[in-house]
Amino acid sequence: MKFWSNPHVVSFARAVEHFESGQDTPRDLLERCIENIERHEQRVKAFVALDLEGARRAADAATQRYKAGRPLSIVDGCPIGIKDIMATRDLPTQMGSPAFAGWRPGHDAACVHALREGGAMIVGKTVTTEFAIGFSGPTTNPFDVRRTPGGSSSGSAAAVGGGMLPVALGTQTQGSTLRPASYCGAVGFKPTLGALHTGGVHPLSITCDHLGVIGATLDDTWRVASQISLRVGSPGHGLLNGASHMPIAPAKPQKILRLHTYGWSEVDSETSGAFEAFLETLAASGVEVVDRHGDARVAALEEALEADVAAALDIVAYEMRWPFEGYIEKFGTVIGERIHGLLKRAAEMTPVEYAALLGKRLELRARYSSVLRDLGAACYVTLSASGPAVEGLAHSGSRAFLVYGSWLGVPAFSLPLLEVSGLPVGIQLLGAAGRDGELCAAAHWVTDALTKGVSCT
């Protein structure tokens, strides 16, 4: 099988050892990123605002710290993009909406604060769909400008995939981190619900919103997630599991459960064939892959997930009533049509119906976890998207493979491993809630096994 290899990768994690030896500096890394921004941004349109001079000042300070042997943190000297629904003290935060054009909150979101305090350079704000759920922005796919980069973290994924940044922040309420990561050939990480602090990130759904990270490599992605966790924690959750261990060492999964949900009806034969070849490679490496045909418990879980999957968007809609009802009252049709439709959907629901949906989700979370535990599996595996990025910019692609992980609040990675028709397609690994570090270790092994030919033992 043919594995994806991104020709544009710019990795901070790979540069750090050269910072420490003096062969490279944070300022030099930033300048390479800026060169790529100047080369690609007019075509890709990943950014809504840039602060290159501020980033250069931060890079120079980081360079001096490395020369003195005193970096501030595991992200000191890392250029980063911030999705434009996250508050920044020195750049506009416009949510992809004309209603907030030019708005400046005057403070940093918790995640931005954590990164600045660790010495990261905030290069700019990346394009988002309207409030991370409405109409798409101008961003194009870095590998084919006729195709979507995915949404809603469109600019973040396109900037990383196009080599303009090593890492950028995203969010995911249904599929908004992992799908664009898949389409743009980057690593995507959606942690356990609540594991990363979302203070200062514009809300959609209090029980579904996740802070996400999109990176050039798994180490880049985990480094940034760890810094946020270590610096600001998360109310009621403590540290991201494994955050104090950098990098996460690869750990071979002995057993993986394949999920075959309704999204497979959307998959073309080339993508399906690439995924089956991936599973064969895993099996040849000594990993047991169990699917619905091999164990009735997997089949029953798939049926249970399908029976109630529509509840995911109902919960989001109900929890969007604040602040969006106020926005519509104030701004009217300036707020996009999709948001109007979701609030209409919410208005038709009762509090009793909403509570029942939350109860169903709790039952499914328990069932999902018990199947994983009872079968002794490391994680579930499926696709991150129905195939390569779809043509056109108005539609950001199907969420069919992604909604489950967001709905259940479990950790998930999209790994840019498959190449289909010359474009990337991600492999999705989903783990147990609160065991993000163990899932990262499995993702590390899978990546190495497929791209480096690591030992089968």
Phi then psi for residue 206, to 5 deg, are -65, -25
Burial of 304 (0-12, 13-18, 19+ CB in 10 A): middle
| pLDDT tens for the chain, residues 1 to 457 | 788 999 999 999 999 999 999 999 999 999 999 999 999 999 999 999 999 999 999 999 999 999 999 999 999 999 999 999 999 999 999 999 999 999 999 999 999 999 999 999 999 999 999 999 999 999 999 999 999 999 999 999 999 999 999 999 999 999 999 999 999 999 999 999 999 999 999 999 999 999 999 999 999 999 999 999 999 988 777 789 888 888 899 999 999 999 999 999 999 999 999 999 999 999 999 999 999 999 999 999 999 999 988 899 999 999 999 999 999 999 999 999 999 999 999 999 999 999 999 999 999 999 999 999 999 999 999 999 999 999 999 999 999 999 999 999 999 999 999 999 999 999 999 999 999 999 999 999 999 998 876 443 3
Q: Determine whether 156 is an active site residue.
A: no
Catalytic residue among 73, 136, 152, 234: 152
Q: Determine whether 229 is an active site residue.
A: no
- Of 173, 197, 106, 85, nearest to 406 by C-alpha is 173
Token pair 């147990």 is found at: 432
User: Hey, where are the domains in the chain?
Assistant: 12-249+412-418
Catalytic residue among 45, 83, 125, 252: 83
Nearest-angstrom CA–CA distance, 50 and 165: 12
Phi then psi for residue 74, to 5 deg, are -75, -5
Task: State the virtual CA torsion across 408, 409, 413, 419 in degrees, nearest 10.
Answer: 40
Fold exhibited by the domain 12-249+412-418: Amidase signature (AS) enzymes (3.90.1300)
Confidence at residue 453, expressed as pLDDT on a 0 to 100 scale: 64
Confidence at residue 456, expressed as pLDDT on a 0 to 100 scale: 36
Cα separation values, 171 from 46, 190, 214, 246, 312, Å: 16, 8, 10, 23, 16
Confidence at residue 321, expressed as pLDDT on a 0 to 100 scale: 98
Helix (H, G, I), strand (E, B) or coil at 67: helix
Confidence at residue 239, expressed as pLDDT on a 0 to 100 scale: 84
Catalytic residue among 73, 97, 136, 176: 176
Q: Determine whether 406 is an active site residue.
A: no
Task: Confirm whether pTM is higher than 0.85.
Answer: yes
